[in-house]
A and B are shown apart, each in its own frame.
Chain A
């Protein structure tokens, strides 16, 4: 074969031509940053300090000082998790990486984090000027995180954190995360807002729910390209935008924690909140066993106009039923059933559910079999009308079959009740 170099050049003729820009090699650093020299090498550290009354969107950063105690409830497994002892134990964490996915070749070239002191919020970015600086940065970061108990991220549980852990394996550095608990705000954000805002990306959540507007923000998606360009020409200018973007993300993480903490404490003014959000907030608070706060949310929801609140009635009633709060549940079933009864007689079958719930309630809780039987008859009657105009789904047919069984059972019970009385009379 001809020499390798020639063959490689021929290969290139079919692909891209290499860019031949000159290296600028600007040795200046981004603003607020310095080079950290360690025994294992150097890296860049940028630090900005904010006073606690710094306003970011609707909140000031300092509001977390009041509202951190309940934050562990952001995690589904909060019962087995350490509580947040102090707002100073929280580490807000976000990286900028060279690619997507969690493979071995994806490098976090910037590790951003923020934390509280007694008087300030500190935002820090660790940055490597080339991959050779990674080792020193990782060693520093691992030592630094030891003082924290909880890690607050946005999608960090499955992305940023595994990627950072990968790097320790790649560098053969033992990584000790001191049992840091993960508070990933993405899941709860999706839970609360997936129906009311278009996307639950952090940039959208902060704009739609936290009142934060960024100006000239560099989208995170461009960060890898800007970094590669920096590696090629050494020009630090475009990187400033990436630093700023990461810093704002970390600030938003803190602000989002403030917002969620306010909700958990039952202190968010719900009167101006989107109805769907109110409902989801109520369900969440109920799940994490903050029943009092949940009640406030549901009460707020029931103040909304009948038209808007009706689609939530059954769901809330089901929550009440689980807790055996039948009085409240019946009220909601009655209202929901009322909606099913007016107007068209041929509502879809699933709208008959409140009537079925009521029937179950009368049968099992009150032992009022005759009343339950009436309700079942009513449901079957309506279902038949529905059937007359529309083919039923398999699920509907199953439901009707169950109703027939229920009716048969109720009839026996009613008969036995009557005959029992008769027997009594006989004696």
Chain B
């Protein structure tokens, strides 16, 4: 019996009932059951300090899981290590045990822990502190971040055994002031990097450079720390960790933690308008499922993709179950909540007082909330790895758990939900970084020069350091004397370099309806199409009209309006190939990887009526052209494939194909869909051949296009499959795009083109 509600439903009973309910089962596109996994134990490692053994025993731990044991052994024998484990498998012991062992053996030993967020860092310190208290040892553990009071900072710098921080703080506060951290850097034995899978893309490329700087400083002070990394399940943990820290690592993936039976249910909301391919709202369907679970006393977590959706779902759910549970037992959780509030929610979830939580991916990371019973994902979170992470929040050792993936009408979601094998049969995505992106690299070489002069024979990344330093000398920020390069500029370089934002300068949006108030921001690349003069900008469901875009000052002034149209801007994009690095020929097609410049200029915008999608007016946009140097992958079609098609048909075919590819590409890249762009050209500027370009939407490129170049074949196969299997008549937003865009035969043209290519290949 459920002790909170008095209801008799167990999760097993609830699942059994679900199977008997046809109106729900009709929407289920796939149901997989992952069997029970038994625990695999190992003995306590030989030599594990008695105080650690005592602390473990006090918590009832007398054996370690296999992965914890192996991590300890590998670390203590001197290897850099990366562990890969699912949610709730006791991964923190993998690094805490060797770290504590080292400090108990030598009080001067130091460790540095890096977490991607402050909340995780605080969580970790609390846990570690508790462990240390049980050991009865004087080991000082502190967080060092923006919230650390100035009065205790000095004590932490001099006497903290374990300093817990984040990459941003390391980058802007610790490394540039390393002379205050002599004790730490002279004695640094371990560097722990948790959640390494989050260090990917632009952020990861920055962090890899911060680690290069960290290693440089350690070397200066004569220490040579070992890295202990921990990752969620991704396809390439070892490779990724090795690119991040630039050291050989030992992979530990023999997870010994037990798990109960796990049901994975793909749920597609019913179609309400077949012609337009419109389905019932995923928010309403998620809410229906979550409410049923909650009403039966099953502790449930709901993940939503945006903060707004979190609030929407929360309001609905609190309302629905308030008679049974009271609204306090269902809470929201997202960035923007105060730390105190978050701690309270985490505690409530652990002790069971809170029965339901609606969260953004903020709870995807390792914050300790205990194990829940059911998980509802409102929308595909963007990567296979994220689905597993989120789903891992549900699942207790001795009972079953269930996860629903509820698809939205977004094309990516529809693809996943209709192709469950894509999710279940493929390894999760690879995490990719590109630390030698020239712009990122130069930024960090500046920071590194500030921290310590460069010697002539030093290395920093794969590019020629001397060339970069000579460039910086011409820019007059470094000065060379006797084979050394010194920072010689008034600026504090780390101040101007943010690790997190892709495009550094964002445009702020200022609502002037009731006096000026900042309501949001838009990145530099989206600004020309989203917030040009007269654009309708929608923020949290409210319409605003842009009164003025101050392009130089990066501000858009908007006023609340109520209109029955939205705006859509046209971009003129000109692509110019600068250099081809790799090329491969196939029958009927050639593919390339290289460097391009992309010039984009918004031309006009259209006013499009809501619902009917009539074009009810247009206007010019006067904004300067943007230029982007980046890396690109592109393929051109040969005459043999395109012959017999009119330019017009080919145009629609390419456009349709591009629309599909732009949705599929992020599936393979574990990146934000906005990070990669696709541009079709019927007659490419240089080759005059029909071409589809993909490019990284970050100056200098971040390795996404290069990966797509390699994936070329499976990308086209997947596109063929997707279009072929889509149930729409002649194109819909879930495949080649709506008929209005690709024409009545767009779907057919795209498919013909792909099949033509396929025949050539076989």
A139 close to chain B: CB less than 8 A: no
Task: Assess the A98–B489 pair: CB atoms within 8 A.
Answer: yes
Closest residue to A101 on the B side, CB-wise? B492
Task: Assess the A102–B595 pair: CB atoms within 8 A.
Answer: no
For A232, the chain B residues whose CB sits under 8 A away are: 476
Partner of A11, one of B177, B179, B439: B439
For A8, the chain B residues whose CB sits under 8 A away are: 438, 467-468, 471
CB distance from B474 to the nearest CB of A (A): 4
Interface segment among B446-454, B546-554, B715-723, B741-749: the answer is: B446-454
For A15, the chain B residues whose CB sits under 8 A away are: 475
Task: Assess the A4–B486 pair: CB atoms within 8 A.
Answer: no
A16 close to chain B: CB less than 8 A: yes
Task: Assess the B490–A100 pair: CB atoms within 8 A.
Answer: yes
Task: Assess the A131–B481 pair: CB atoms within 8 A.
Answer: yes
CB distance from A226 to the nearest CB of B (A): 12
When chains A and B are docked, how far (Å) is the Cα of A224 from the Cα of B487?
A: 12
Task: Assess the A4–B450 pair: CB atoms within 8 A.
Answer: no
Task: Assess the A132–B438 pair: CB atoms within 8 A.
Answer: no
For A201, the chain B residues whose CB sits under 8 A away are: none
CB distance from B625 to the nearest CB of A (A): 13
For B484, the chain A residues whose CB sits under 8 A away are: 131-132
A10 close to chain B: CB less than 8 A: yes
For A101, the chain B residues whose CB sits under 8 A away are: 492
Interface segment among A103-111, A278-286, A389-397: the answer is: A103-111
For B639, the chain A residues whose CB sits under 8 A away are: none
Closest residue to B578 on the A side, CB-wise? A2
Partner of A104, one of B438, B451, B471: B451
Task: Assess the A4–B463 pair: CB atoms within 8 A.
Answer: yes
How many residue pairs at the A-B interface have CB separations less than 8 Å? 94
Task: Assess the B177–A102 pair: CB atoms within 8 A.
Answer: yes
Closest residue to A229 on the B side, CB-wise? B476
Task: Assess the B489–A228 pair: CB atoms within 8 A.
Answer: yes
Q: Provided the pairs A8-B467, A228-B476 are in contact, do residues A166 and B179 lie with their beta carbons within 8 angstroms?
A: yes
For B176, the chain A residues whose CB sits under 8 A away are: 103-105
- Interface hits, B558-585 → A, CB 8 Å: 578-579, 581
For A2, the chain B residues whose CB sits under 8 A away are: 578-579, 581, 595
Q: Provided the pairs A8-B467, A8-B471, A16-B475 are in contact, do residues A104 and B450 lie with their beta carbons within 8 angstroms?
A: yes
When chains A and B are docked, how far (Å) is the Cα of A170 from the Cα of B185?
A: 13
A19 close to chain B: CB less than 8 A: yes
Task: Assess the B492–A5 pair: CB atoms within 8 A.
Answer: no
B488 close to chain A: CB less than 8 A: yes
A130 close to chain B: CB less than 8 A: yes
A7 close to chain B: CB less than 8 A: yes
B21 close to chain A: CB less than 8 A: no
CB distance from A56 to the nearest CB of B (A): 30
- Interface hits, A129-179 → B, CB 8 Å: 130-132, 165-166, 169-170
Task: Assess the B179–A104 pair: CB atoms within 8 A.
Answer: yes
Closest residue to B701 on the A side, CB-wise? A1
- Interface hits, A279-323 → B, CB 8 Å: none
B491 close to chain A: CB less than 8 A: yes
Task: Assess the B581–A1 pair: CB atoms within 8 A.
Answer: yes
Q: Provided the pairs A1-B595, A8-B438 are in contact, do residues A231 and B468 lie with their beta carbons within 8 angstroms?
A: no
CB distance from B700 to the nearest CB of A (A): 8
A18 close to chain B: CB less than 8 A: yes
When chains A and B are docked, how far (Å) is the Cα of A104 from the Cα of B176?
A: 6
A99 close to chain B: CB less than 8 A: yes
For A104, the chain B residues whose CB sits under 8 A away are: 176-179, 450-452
CB distance from B668 to the nearest CB of A (A): 22
Closest residue to B439 on the A side, CB-wise? A11
B51 close to chain A: CB less than 8 A: no
When chains A and B are docked, how far (Å) is the Cα of A232 from the Cα of B438?
A: 26
B280 close to chain A: CB less than 8 A: no
Task: Assess the A103–B474 pair: CB atoms within 8 A.
Answer: no
B171 close to chain A: CB less than 8 A: no
When chains A and B are docked, how far (Å) is the Cα of A18 from the Cα of B486?
A: 18
For B178, the chain A residues whose CB sits under 8 A away are: 104
When chains A and B are docked, how far (Å) is the Cα of A347 from the Cα of B503?
A: 58
Partner of A99, one of B182, B468, B475, B492: B492
When chains A and B are docked, how far (Å) is the Cα of A10 from the Cα of B464?
A: 17
Task: Assess the B453–A131 pair: CB atoms within 8 A.
Answer: yes
When chains A and B are docked, how far (Å) is the Cα of A130 from the Cα of B490?
A: 16
Closest residue to B466 on the A side, CB-wise? A4
When chains A and B are docked, how far (Å) is the Cα of A166 from the Cα of B451?
A: 11
Proximity string of chain A (211-232) to chain B, C-beta cutoff 8 Å, 1 when within and 0 when not: 0000000000000110010011
For B449, the chain A residues whose CB sits under 8 A away are: 105
For B471, the chain A residues whose CB sits under 8 A away are: 8, 11-12
Partner of A98, one of B453, B490, B578: B490
When chains A and B are docked, how far (Å) is the Cα of A5 from the Cα of B470?
A: 10
Closest residue to B178 on the A side, CB-wise? A104
B762 close to chain A: CB less than 8 A: no
For B476, the chain A residues whose CB sits under 8 A away are: 18-19, 228, 232
For A107, the chain B residues whose CB sits under 8 A away are: 486-488
Proximity string of chain A (1-33) to chain B, C-beta cutoff 8 Å, 1 when within and 0 when not: 110110110111011101100000000000000
When chains A and B are docked, how far (Å) is the Cα of A100 from the Cα of B493?
A: 12
Q: Provided the pairs A131-B486, A132-B482, A228-B488 are in contact, do residues A11 and B595 lie with their beta carbons within 8 angstroms?
A: no
Task: Assess the A130–B479 pair: CB atoms within 8 A.
Answer: yes
For B463, the chain A residues whose CB sits under 8 A away are: 4
Closest residue to A105 on the B side, CB-wise? B450
When chains A and B are docked, how far (Å) is the Cα of A166 from the Cα of B490?
A: 17
CB distance from B485 to the nearest CB of A (A): 9
When chains A and B are docked, how far (Å) is the Cα of A29 from the Cα of B486?
A: 23
CB distance from A97 to the nearest CB of B (A): 9
B629 close to chain A: CB less than 8 A: yes
CB distance from B222 to the nearest CB of A (A): 9
Closest residue to A133 on the B side, CB-wise? B481
When chains A and B are docked, how far (Å) is the Cα of A166 from the Cα of B578?
A: 46
Task: Assess the B177–A7 pair: CB atoms within 8 A.
Answer: no
CB distance from B139 to the nearest CB of A (A): 26
Closest residue to B217 on the A side, CB-wise? A104
- Interface hits, A11-62 → B, CB 8 Å: 11-12, 14-16, 18-19
Task: Assess the B490–A18 pair: CB atoms within 8 A.
Answer: no
Partner of A4, one of B179, B464, B479, B595: B464
When chains A and B are docked, how far (Å) is the Cα of A169 from the Cα of B178?
A: 9
Task: Assess the A231–B488 pair: CB atoms within 8 A.
Answer: yes
CB distance from A267 to the nearest CB of B (A): 39
For A100, the chain B residues whose CB sits under 8 A away are: 490, 492
For B487, the chain A residues whose CB sits under 8 A away are: 105, 107
For A131, the chain B residues whose CB sits under 8 A away are: 453, 479, 481, 484, 486, 488
15 A-B pairs besides A1-B579, A18-B476, A99-B491 with CB distance below 8 A are A1-B595, A8-B471, A11-B438, A11-B442, A11-B629, A18-B474, A103-B176, A104-B178, A104-B451, A104-B452, A107-B486, A131-B479, A131-B484, A132-B481, A165-B179
Q: What are the 8 tightest A-B residue pairs by CB atom distance, in nearest-first order?
A: A105-B450, A131-B486, A132-B481, A18-B474, A2-B579, A169-B179, A103-B176, A105-B487
**9 A–B pairs (Cβ distance < 8 Å), ordered by A:** A7-B595, A10-B578, A11-B438, A14-B627, A18-B474, A99-B490, A103-B177, A104-B177, A231-B488
